[in-house]
Amino acid sequence: DAKTTQPTSMDCAEGRAANLPCNHSTISGNEYVYWYRQIHSQGPQYIIHGLKNNETNEMASLIITEDRKSSTLILPHATLRDTAVYYCIGSGAGNMLTFGGGTRLMVKP
Partner 1 sequence: ETGVTQSPTHLIKTRGQQVTLRCSSQSGHNTVSWYQQALGQGPQFIFQYYREEENGRGNFPPRFSGLQFPNYSSELNVNALELDDSALYLCASSTLDRAYNEQFFGPGTRLTVL
Task: List residues near partner 1 by CB under 8 A.
Answer: 30, 32, 34, 41-46, 49, 51, 85, 87, 93-102
Nearest to 20 by CA among 58, 66, 52, 59: 59
Q: Which residue, 34 or 73, is less far from partner 1 as judged by CB?
A: 34
Q: Which residue, 5 or 13, is less far from partner 1 as judged by CB?
A: 5
Shortest reach from residue 102's CB to partner 1, in Å: 6
Q: Which residue, 21 or 44, is less far from partner 1 as judged by CB?
A: 44
Alpha helix locations (H) across the chain? none
Shortest reach from residue 82's CB to partner 1, in Å: 18
Shortest reach from residue 69's CB to partner 1, in Å: 19
Name, in order, each residue with C-beta under 8 angstroms of 82's C-beta and a sequence gap of 6 or more: 12, 18, 37, 75, 105, 107
Given a contact cutoff of 8 angstroms between Cβ atoms, the answer to whether 101 and 7 are in contact is no
Shortest reach from residue 44's CB to partner 1, in Å: 5
What is the phi/psi pair of residue 82, to 5°?
A: -85, -5
